[in-house]
Amino acid sequence: MALFEVALDEQLEHHLKAAAQSQRVDQSEIVRQALADYFRSAQNYVYDDDAIWDDWRDFSQTVIAAQRRAIIAIIRRLPETAWTSRHETRRILTEAVEDVEWDEGIEPIYEALRAKVIEKSLAFTTNPEIEPTNRSYPFAPIIRFDIGFATDDLYSVRLPLIQAFFQYYWEAGEAAFAEIPAIWEAAKARIDAGEKRPSDEEAAAARRTSG
Helix/strand/coil percentages in the chain, nearest 5: 60, 10, 30
Evaluate whether 209 touches 117 at the Cβ level (below 8 Å).
Answer: no
CA distance 27 to 175: 44
**Confidence (pTM):** 0.60
CA distance 50 to 32: 12
Contacts of residue 47, Cβ cutoff 8 Å, sequence gap at least 6: 36, 39, 40
Q: What pLDDT does residue 204 have?
A: 86
The SS3 of residue 109 is helix
Q: Which of 101, 93, 94, 90 lies closest to 76 in space, CA to CA?
A: 93
Evaluate whether 211 touches 115 at the Cβ level (below 8 Å).
Answer: no
Q: Which residues pair with 143 in a beta bridge?
A: 130, 159
Per-residue tens of pLDDT for the chain, all 211 residues: 455 566 666 777 777 777 777 666 677 777 777 777 666 555 444 444 443 344 456 777 777 888 888 888 888 888 888 788 888 888 888 888 777 778 777 888 888 889 888 888 888 778 899 999 998 999 999 999 989 886 667 889 999 999 999 999 999 999 999 999 999 999 999 999 999 999 888 888 888 888 8
Q: Kindly state the DSSP code that residue 77 receives in the 8-state scheme.
A: T
Cα atoms found within 13 Å of the Cα of residue 19, Cβ hemisphere only? 14
Q: Which element (helix H / strand E) includes 148?
A: strand 141-150
Helical residues (DSSP H) of 53-199, grouped into ranges: 57-76, 86-98, 107-122, 161-172, 174-178, 180-192
Q: Which of 66, 185, 71, 204 lies closest to 126 in space, CA to CA?
A: 204
Q: Kindly state the DSSP code that residue 67 receives in the 8-state scheme.
A: H
Q: Which residues pair with 64 in a beta bridge?
A: none
